[in-house]
């Protein structure tokens, strides 16, 4: 009964005084309290204590630093808050770094795919990505197509334009006449007829076998067609790059000869065996039949 709070109300105090004055009633109430207040089992006690301590520790964000310091080995509130802030800042930094790296990688990948990287870097990227099956332009691959593309437009328009300029009515036959005259005819005819004669010869040869339209010249061409094809096969080489891949240098010089100084080159080629001209002509000279065969084969 000592736990009774009897001081707050006089009447209540008097009441409990009367209760304690009755020994039987006092003993009954005391026995009732002790029986009901028997402590829980020891195993349950330890479990409840541990659970309560853990629950209180889990709710520690509202606890001040002073009370947190009472726990041995537990960092203070400020230390934990500093750690949280630093971890958040670190996370933000890494996110920014990863984003920048991703953008750089993506930009480099796009540049590599477009072949816009510098040569060594492009080569390294191409070699590396080739291992995983990705094919991006290689610097070596990038250079050759450009040359091919440059050769193509130069060759084809040149022959076409010269053909279109109409060598047939004006220069074709005179040139063939000149060529018929002598070997020097190679100088002048080769200037103008190298390009035209290519197709002219093709046409003529096709005409030789098919059309009689150019019969007068055909005889000359037939006579010296051995030489004319020699001049005409030069452009054929240009167009027959696939057939005579070995003569690609000759084909590259031939169109230039057609355009500008082809005569000089041809002359030089005749005199000193210049490059592809000599090869072309020589090849043609020696391989007239072959040229004819090719052309005939093409025709056929």
Give residues in contact with other proteins (CB under 8 A). Answer: 1, 3-5, 8-9, 11-12, 15, 19, 22-25, 27-41, 44-45, 47-60, 62-63, 66-68, 70-71, 74
Residue whose C-alpha is closest to residue 266's, from 165, 162, 174, 194 = 194
CB of 77 to other proteins, least distance (A): 10
Decide whether 5 or 300 has the Cβ nearer to other proteins: 5
Decide whether 59 or 132 has the Cβ nearer to other proteins: 59
CB of 38 to other proteins, least distance (A): 7
The answer to whether residues 217 and 169 touch, using CB atoms and an 8 Å cutoff, is no
CB of 78 to other proteins, least distance (A): 14
CB of 85 to other proteins, least distance (A): 21
Give the span between the Cα atoms of 156 and 41, in whole angstroms: 105
CB of 14 to other proteins, least distance (A): 11
CB of 63 to other proteins, least distance (A): 5
Decide whether 20 or 113 has the Cβ nearer to other proteins: 20
Write out the H or E segment, with its range, that includes residue 277: helix 275-286
In the structure encoding, which two tokens stand for residue 291, read together? 């040229």
Q: Residue with structure tokens 């050769």?
A: 151
Decide whether 15 or 78 has the Cβ nearer to other proteins: 15
Q: Residue with structure tokens 């030069």?
A: 234
CB of 15 to other proteins, least distance (A): 7
Decide whether 48 or 130 has the Cβ nearer to other proteins: 48
The answer to whether residues 129 and 112 touch, using CB atoms and an 8 Å cutoff, is yes
Taking each helix axis as running N to C, give the angle between helix 187-209 and helix 288-299, from 0 to 180 degrees, rounded to the nearest 10.
50
Decide whether 77 or 162 has the Cβ nearer to other proteins: 77
CA–chain centroid gap for 157, Å, is: 33
Taking each helix axis as running N to C, give the angle between helix 77-114 and helix 119-131, from 0 to 180 degrees, rounded to the nearest 10.
100
Q: Which distant-in-sequence residues (6+ apart) come within 8 Å of 270 by Cβ?
A: 183, 186, 187, 190, 277, 278, 281
Decide whether 3 or 242 has the Cβ nearer to other proteins: 3
């Amino acid at each position: 009964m000592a736990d009774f709070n009897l001081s707050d109300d006089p009447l209540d105090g008097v009441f409990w005084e009367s209760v304690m004055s009755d020994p039987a009633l006092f003993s009954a109430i005391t026995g009732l309290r002790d029986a009901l207040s028997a402590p829980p089992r020891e195993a349950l006690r330890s479990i409840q204590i541990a659970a309560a301590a853990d629950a209180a520790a889990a709710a520690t964000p509202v606890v001040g630093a002073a009370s947190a310091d009472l726990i041995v080995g537990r960092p203070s509130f400020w230390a934990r808050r500093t750690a949280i802030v630093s971890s958040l800042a670190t996370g933000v930094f890494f996110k920014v770094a990863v984003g920048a790296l991703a953008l750089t990688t993506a930009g480099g990948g796009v540049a590599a795919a477009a072949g816009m990287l510098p040569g060594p870097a492009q080569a390294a990227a191409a070699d590396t990505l080739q291992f995983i099956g990705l094919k991006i332009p290689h610097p070596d691959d990038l250079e050759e197509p450009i040359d091919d593309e440059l050769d193509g437009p130069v060759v084809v328009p040149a022959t076409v334009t010269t053909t279109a300029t109409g060598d047939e009515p004006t220069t074709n036959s005179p040139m063939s006449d000149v060529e018929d005259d002598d070997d020097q005819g190679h100088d002048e005819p080769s200037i103008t007829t190298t390009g035209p004669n290519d197709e002219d010869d093709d046409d003529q040869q096709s005409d030789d076998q098919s059309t009689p339209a150019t019969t007068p010249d055909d005889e000359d061409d037939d006579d010296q067609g051995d030489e004319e094809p020699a001049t005409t096969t030069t452009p054929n080489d240009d167009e027959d790059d696939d057939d005579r891949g070995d003569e690609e240098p000759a084909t590259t010089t031939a169109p230039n000869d057609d355009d500008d100084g082809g005569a000089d080159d041809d002359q030089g080629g005749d005199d000193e065996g210049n490059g592809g001209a000599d090869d072309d002509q020589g090849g043609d000279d020696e391989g007239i039949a072959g040229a004819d065969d090719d052309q005939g084969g093409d025709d056929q």
